[in-house]
Structure 1
Amino acid sequence: MKKNVGIIAPLPYSTDIGPAISQMKEHIKWLSHTHVSGLWFLGTTAEFPYIDLWWKFKAIRELVPYAKKLGFTTYCGVWDAEPHRMNMIARTAWEAGADALFAMTPIFTKVSDAEMLVYYERVLGEIAETHLPLYLYDFPQKSGNQISLDVIAALLGKYPGRVVGIKDSSGDMVRLGELARRFEPFGFTVFAGTNAKVVEARKAGAHGVVGSLANISPELMYQAWEFGEKRAQKILEKEAELILQYDGPRAINAWLGQWRMAGKPNYPHTELSARERRYLFARLRNP
C-alpha cells in the first residue's frame, strides 16, 4: 500500500514583542480539529531568514510540545547561514520533542552538485547528535538552487536511514514523479510543496503535500488530496493566486488575525491596509 502522509501545514510566523506564541497556539489548536496531519515549523511560509535565532528557540520550545500534545507530527527547519547555529537549532528541536528536521538548500549563492553534497553532509554532521531524520528542502524559485537527483542518490547511499525524504516546491510534476519512482524503494518520502497542484501531485506519486493554504483552507486541501476533488482544487487555485498578490504569508497572517490566530507580520513586512484587508477577506470568502 502506498504511503499516505496527507496534509502538512507550514506554520506562518507572526510577532507580538517576539513570537506571537499565544496566537500561534490558537492556530495550532484550530488546525487540530481538521485533517492536517503535521506541522512544518520555520520554513518559507514562516520566512525563516528573517527570524532572530533566539526567537526561533522560543518558538520551537513553546510550539513543538504543544503541537505534539495535540497529535501532530512535527518537522523543524534548521537552516542558518552559520553551520554551528544549525546545531543549536537542531538540539533545541530535539529537546522539544520534534519528530524530524528539514534543511533548505543554500540560498542566494549558486552552488555546484559537488558543493550541494558537501553542504548537506555538513548539515548532517551538525544535527548528528540529535539522531533525528532529515528531510531535504528544494525550492529553486526562492533559493536559486536545486538539488539534483544525483546528489540525492549520493546522500541516500552514504547516509541510509538519515536522509528520509524531500519537500519539493519546484512545481514540476515530472520531477516529482521521478523522485517518487527512483527513491521510493529506499523508503524515501516525497512531499509536494504546492497549493495549486494538489491533485496533480498525488497522481504524480507524492506521499503528502505541504501547502501554505492548509493554514486557512485545510479541508479543501484534504478533499483535493484524499479524494481528487476538482472543485476543491479549483478553489485552491483561486486562493493561491489571491494570496500571492499580498506576498503569501502576509496575507495568511492577516486572515488568521481576524480570529486572533496570528500576531503582526514579521520584519520586513507591514500590515495590510484596511482597504487591502477588505478586498482580501471578501475574495477569500467568495473565491
Structure 2
Amino acid sequence: MNLEGIITALVTPFDEKGKIVESSLRKLCKFQLNKQVNGLLILGTTGEGISLNLEERKLVAEIVVDELKGKLPIMVHVGSSNINEVFSLAKHAVDIGADSITSITPYFFKMSDKEIFDFYLELSKNVPNDYPVYLYNFPTATGNDITPEVIKKLIEETNNILGIKYSSDNMMRIQEYLKLQNPNFKVFTGADQLFYPMLCLGCDGLVSGNANIFPELFVTVFKSFKKNDHKTAKLFHQYGNEIAKLFKYGNIPAIKAGMKLREIDGGYVRRPFRNLCEEEKNKLQKEFSLIFDQILNLKPLE
C-alpha cells in the first residue's frame, strides 16, 4: 500500500444523545470517496476516538470498512493508555480487513524513549509481520514525543512500521524525520497550514481534519504539486490556510459546524465537547461564506 496524499481524519457522527449514527457515517465515507481523497484515518483525534468505548470503536471501524473496503485505504487509530485495549483494537482492525493501523503514544503518564520504543515494538509484533503500522505523534496533547532516534531504531528492528503522522508545527522535527532517508517510511504532517511547505521538503501528504469540510481544496494542492504546478498548489494552499484559521486544529465542534454549512451531516459532538451556540454558528457562517464563494470561483478545483 503506497499511501500518500490527502488522508481525511474522519469525524464520527453522533446524535444529540451521543449515539453513533451509522447512516451519516456511511454518507461521509461516500462523500470523501467521491472527492478523491487518498485515504481515511478513523477514530483519531478529530474522530473523537478516545471518547468511545471499546465496542463503539470496533463498530465504527466495521461500518467504515464495510462501506469502503477495496475502494479507499482505511487507517484505524487504535491508541489508548490501556495497552490491552490497543492490542484488542489492533487485532480487530486486522480481522475486519482494515488496511493499516496507527496509534498515538500512551498519554498522560510521562514516558521515556525506551518505553515509547517498547510500546511500538510490541504493537508491531501484535499484528502480522507485513501489516502496516503508522506512528502518531501529537506531543502537545499526549505529553510524549517520538524522537528521530526512536523511529530509526524501530525501522531497523521491524518490517511493518511504515510511517508517522506528526501533529505539530515544529518544522525542525519534521526535517529530522525526513533526514532518516528511508524510502519505505512515510512522513505525514497533521498541520494544514504547513501542507505545501512540507510537500516541498519531502513529506508524503497531509492528515487533515479540515478535509471533512473541504476535501477538494486539499486534493487540488496535492495533485497540483505532483504535476509540478506550484502556482496552483500555492494558491490553493493559501485558501487552505484561511479554512484552517476558521476551523482551528482540534476544534472539533467548529469542524462539525463547518460541515453543516456545506450541508454535510457530521452529526453532533460527544461530551465533554459542546456544540457551537447560535451566535457562534452565525459568526462562523458569515466568515465561511466569504471564503467559500472565493474558493468556488477558482480554477482548477478538483
TM-score (norm 1): 0.90
Distance in 1, Cα, partners of 2:182 & 2:222: 19
Q: Secondary structure at the match of 1:252?
A: helix
Gaps of at least 5 residues in structure 2 are: 225-229, 292-302
Paired with 1:112 and 1:5, the residues of 2 have a C-alpha distance of 30
Q: Secondary structure at the match of 1:278?
A: helix
Is the aligned partner of 1:191 residue 2:194? no
Look up the match of 1:255: 258
Per-residue deviation, 1:89: 1.0
1:278 matched to 2:282 = yes
Gaps of 5+ in 1: none
CA distance in 2, matches of 1:90, 1:270: 30
Q: Distance in 1 between matches of 2:135 and 2:153?
A: 13
* Among candidates 200, 209, 217, match of residue 212 of structure 1: 209
Match of 1:166 in 2: 164
Give how far 1:4 is off.
7.1
**Do residues 201 (structure 1) and 202 (structure 2) align?**
no
State the percentage of identical aligned residues.
28
Q: 1:230 aligns with which of 194, 217, 234?
A: 234
Preserved CA contact (<8 Å) 1:149 1:179: yes
How many angstroms does 1:76 deviate by?
0.5
Q: Which residue of 1 aligns with 2:13?
A: 14
Contact 1:79-1:104 at 8 Å conserved across structures: yes
For residue 261 of structure 1, what is the amino acid of its counterpart?
A: D
1:240 corresponds to which letter in structure 2?
Answer: A
CA RMSD of aligned residues (A): 2.0
Higher relative contact order (CA 8 A, sep 6+): 1
Instruction: Give me the whole-angstrom Cα distance separating, in 1, the residues matched to 2:251 and 2:270.
Output: 13
Give the count of matched residue pairs.
280
Q: CA deviation at 1:223?
A: 2.3
Contact 2:10 2:46 in 1 (8 A): yes
User: What code does the residue aligned with 1:268 have?
Assistant: P
| 1:104-143 alignment, distance < 5 Å | 104-125=104-125, 127-129=126-128, 132-143=131-142
The one-letter amino acid of 1:199's match is Y
In the alignment, the residues of structure 2 paired with residue 280 and residue 129 of structure 1 have an alpha-carbon distance, to the nearest angstrom, of 46
The alpha-carbon distance between structure 1 residues 6 and 59, as it changes in their structure 2 partners (threshold 3 A), is same
Contact 1:90 1:130 (8 Å CA) reproduced: no
TM-score by length of 2: 0.86
Secondary structure, aligned partner of 1:79:
coil
The answer (yes or no) to whether the contact 1:94–1:130 under 8 Å persists in 2 is no
Match of 1:101 in 2: 101
Alignment partners' CA distance in 1, 2:278 and 2:61:
32
